[in-house]
Amino acid sequence: MRILNSTIAISLAAVLGVNSAQAAGLPQLDPSTFSSQLIWLAITFITLYVLMAKVALPKIGDVLEERQRKIDDNLAKAEELKSQADAASVAYEKSLSEARAKAHDAIREVKDEALAEAHKRQSAQNAQLQAKISESEQAISKARDEALAGIKDVATDVATSAVEKLIGEAPKDGSVASAIEAALKDRA
């Protein structure tokens, strides 16, 4: 700033030096030029004012206003679209939860049905199996009885032939059978 000031001072000194040397004075201080400058200033400035007020400024103002209106319009439109989107999202959310609940219900129904069916089938199967088991048990006991009866015959035959071999003569039919009967009774 100080440098600037000193340069201004130097230049002013130069101006003044030239000035005094020429003794002409500053052109700015020559009153003979005032009237023409003032008249032309008035003409041009009034023209400029009229041009600005009537032509240029309304033009720019219109454009700015139009842009502002467009921006406001677009913002309002965006707002509306956003609310529409929100509503759609809410509806979607609702239908989604409804569908989920419905699916849940359907799954439970099917599960219950399947469970009941399984129970039913299981009990039927159980009954069938029970019947088969008892049938088989009967068959087994019958077979055992038959086998036991067979054993007595076989034992009688074996004992008869053994006695025959040992003593050289056949025992009486009744004696061997009664002896085995007795032995079996003792075992049992």
Partner 1 sequence: MANPIAQFEIKPLVPLEFGGIDASLTNSGAFMVLTVVSITAFLVMGMRSRALVPGRWQSLAELSYEFVAGLLRDNVGSAGRTYFPFVFSIFMFILFANVLGLLPYSFTVTSHIIVTFAMAMAVFIMITVVAIARHGFKFISYFVPSGVPMAVLPLMVPIEIISYLSRPVSLSVRLFANMMAGHTMMKVFAGFIVPLGFFGVLPLGIDVLMVGFEFLVAFLQAYVFTVLTCLYLHDAIHLH
Return residues touching partner 1 (CB under 8 A): 7-8, 10-12, 14-15, 18-19, 22, 26-30, 32-45, 47-49, 51-53, 55-57, 59-64, 66-67, 70
Residues near 91 by Cβ (< 8 Å), separated by ≥ 6?
none
Q: Is the sign of the CA dihedral 94, 97, 100, 105 positive or negative?
A: negative
Residue type, 82: K
Q: How far is the CB of 85 from partner 1 (least distance, A)?
A: 26
Q: How far is the CB of 35 from partner 1 (least distance, A)?
A: 5
Q: How far is the CB of 23 from partner 1 (least distance, A)?
A: 13
Whichever of 50 and 90 has its CB closer to partner 1, that residue is 50
Q: How far is the CB of 86 from partner 1 (least distance, A)?
A: 29
121 alpha-carbon distance from chain centroid: 39
Whichever of 26 and 188 has its CB closer to partner 1, that residue is 26
| Phi/psi of residue 30, nearest 5 degrees | -90, 105
180 alpha-carbon distance from chain centroid: 85
Provide the token pair at 66. Answer: 């139009």
Residue type, 160: T
Number of helical (H) and strand (E) elements in the chain, helices listed first: 4, 0
Cα maximum dimension of the chain? 192
Q: How far is the CB of 72 from partner 1 (least distance, A)?
A: 13
